[in-house]
Every structure is written in structure tokens, then in C-alpha cells.
Structure 1
Amino acid sequence: MKEFWGRLGYYPVGIVDAVGHKGGIWFLSANLKFSCKILWAMNQCVTLEIDGGGRRWICSAVYGSPQATTRVELWSHLLDIGLCIQDPWVVVGDFNDILSVHEVKGGNYYSTRSSVFASTLDSCGLFDLTTSGRRFTWFQAFVEVLSRSHSDHCPLLIRCQEVPIKKENRPFRFQAAWATHPDYKAIVQKSWNSTDFGIHRKLLGVQEASLEFNSTVFGNIFIKKRELEAYLNCIQQKMEADDDPILKHKEEELRAEYNLVLAQE
């Protein structure tokens, strides 16, 4: 697994291995400029101190046990952490519990468990970012629930203080995804054979033809990916309120198309 994540540009900074098919937490980072230090780890939670960008903060990754009696250990662990730290603290993951009846569909709601969960968060000084983002005093943040593709869990993206990206001229980069299109080989051959003015001119011709192909035929796979994610997310939101088989079929089609774009990416 470390080799797999490494190929995607991530490196592990905190791991709690799964026991059989149960549990397991991987805390990964893609920013080598940030210092990550494990402070505490247990089978339902890994907590790191993250230092970078002129800011130090604490992040706890949670995977709560599906057994309510075992989750008590998690609540106690979070309460202990809350007593030990002074830095800003974000806790993210799957708690396997809910705060209100509005957060569950097709399952049971237990008010006693909800009260214990809410009391734990309150005692830790934690609050729900989805509803209290503007009360976040150290920097603005909110949680975005992304569309799911290969898991029954939706990814959660915590967005913190937007930083504008400076656009600069970028050098030409060959995209291996172009080779997945059946027409690309012929375009390269045609461009390569269209001039007799040496290797350099031939390469420039292939570059120009490739960029034109990307713009008019292949399209930007990253834009396609975002559009499919948005469409997939919209369909899945509708499915939460309506079990229409047409929506289910459309979701399957979108997932297949999304998988193709991921392969190209």
C-alpha cells in the first residue's frame, strides 16, 4: 500500500493497521514542506501535530467503531486530547455516530447515543464545520462532501482559506492519456510526416498537433473529471430522497465514464 500511495505522490505519516476487515486508518501527506508528528494513536484515532505555512495545528483522523460500547473508548480518548492541547484542532473522519435525526436515512436513531456524541464534542470545544464555519476564529473553513466512486463512503474535503493560484506559462508536457484515444496515433503520424526539416521541427509539429487535438477532440480530462464529479454528486443527492431505478442506472453510467477518466488521468 505504501508503494501504491507513493506513486500517487503521497507518503504515510501515521498508520493504524486494520484488524482483518475491521478498522484501519491511513494518515497521508502530499506536502513535504509540512512537518507532521504523531502525538497519539489508538485503534479508532490517529492524532498529528502539523507545522507549516506559518501555522501549527492539530489534526485527528477518526474511524469510530460500529459497536457503541467500543466507541466509548474513542469519546474518552478525544476528551483526554482536548485537555492536553492549546493549538487549533480539527477532527475528521467516520465517527459511526450522528448528532441529529436529520443526519440518518433508512436506519435507526438513538437519542441517547446522539447526546453522548454531542456532549463529547462540546466538552472538547469542537463544533460542526458544516454549520459553524464562520465561527472558526483561526481561519475560515468548511467541509465539502464529494461524490463517491469505489467506496460506500463519500470523501470529505475540508477547504481552508482559499489561496489564489498564479497562472504562468507552462512548458509543453505530453499527456499519456492522449494515447488512450484511438485517433491520436494517426494524428502523430500525420504531423511527423508533414515536414522534412529535421527532428526538432518534427517534434514542434507533433506538439502543436497534440495541443490542437487536446483542445478540439480529447478535451481537458481534468475539466471532464470535475464535471463528472459534479454530475455524479447531483445524482447521488437525488438518490438520497428518491429510489428511482432510472437514477440508479444513470449513476452506474456516470461511474463507468468516471472510471475511464480516472484511468486516463
Structure 2
Amino acid sequence: MLSSECRGGRFSPSRASQFLDVLNDCNLLDMGAKCLRFTWYRNQRGVVLAKRLDRAVCNVEWQAMFPEAYVENLCMVYSDHCPILLRRKGSRDKAQDRPFRFQAAWATHKGFERIVREAWGRSTPTLANGL
């Protein structure tokens, strides 16, 4: 959307303008983001390209209902895109509101499949409880 949201490669002012027009036509606001500046990375012939392609948007009514909400750009794991996380202030302080974060190393544990099967087999948990 802005030239500052692009490092390396080409920035297209006309495409950025078209995107802004769509946001305006739909009465949407970019919520911005904390943490990482870019959400997409690619190494092209030894040059690292980085852009803020992923974003959260909302309308004014939603923003008025959730004024404390904010977005975090998280570290990428298996994709060239970084996940984005919508948070509300204060949710970090409560253990039950913390997001589940899967550690890729867990999948290498020799009892991983058995542990997961047993955990999910105990009851019919919600996705959050199962995780």
C-alpha cells in the first residue's frame, strides 16, 4: 500500500492506489501491525525481497466496538508469509487467552502421534481444548 511497505523489487504506485480505492469503497481501515514490519519474504538471486502483503482490515463500527484490538505480525515458520494475529489488550495477561503455539520440534518426538491420539481420544474437545 505504501512504498515503505516494500523492500527490494518493484513498488507499483498504481496497484497500491487501486488497493486503497477498494478499501475506501468498502469503508475499511487498515489496522496496522506491531512487531515485524514485513509479512512476506523471498530470496531472489541473492537479494531478499520483503513486503507487507498480509494485513487485517476493519470498519469504523468494528473499531468502535473493539478499540483495544491490535494486530501482531508473527514470525514465519513453514511459509514465505508471516501469520498475523489479532489481539485485544489485556488478553496476554490471562493464561487461558494466550494463543496456542505449536513447536515444530514436537513432531519429531517418537511418541508424538500416540500422545496426540490419546489427548484427542479422552473426550470430544473443542479445537482450542484439544490443542
Task: Choose between structure 1 and 2: higher helix proportion.
Answer: 1
Q: TM-score when scaled to structure 2? A: 0.47
State the structure with more CA Rg. Answer: 1
Q: TM-score when scaled to structure 1? A: 0.25
